[in-house]
Amino acid sequence: MSVRVRRVYEPPESEDGTRVLVDRLWPRGLAKDAARVDEWPKGLTPSTELRRWYHAGEGSYEEFARRYEAELAEPEAAELVDRVRELAAKGTVTLVTASKNLEQGHAAVLARLLQS
Q: pLDDT for 66-99, tens place per residue?
A: 999 999 999 999 999 999 999 999 999 999 999 9
Could you tell me the pLDDT band of residue 58, with boundaries at 50, 70 and 90?
confident
Mean pLDDT value across residues 32-46: 94
Tell me the backbone φ, ψ of residue 77, rounded to 5 degrees: -70, -40
At residue 7, the 3 state secondary structure works out as strand
- The DSSP letter of residue 6 is E
Mean pLDDT value across residues 39-66: 93
Could you tell me the pLDDT band of residue 110, with boundaries at 50, 70 and 90?
very high
Helices (H), the chain: 32-35, 48-55, 61-72, 75-90, 106-115
Q: Whole-prediction pTM value? A: 0.94
Mean pLDDT value across residues 37-64: 93
Q: How many CA atoms lie within 13 A of 78 on its CB side?
A: 4
Could you tell me the pLDDT band of residue 1, with boundaries at 50, 70 and 90?
confident
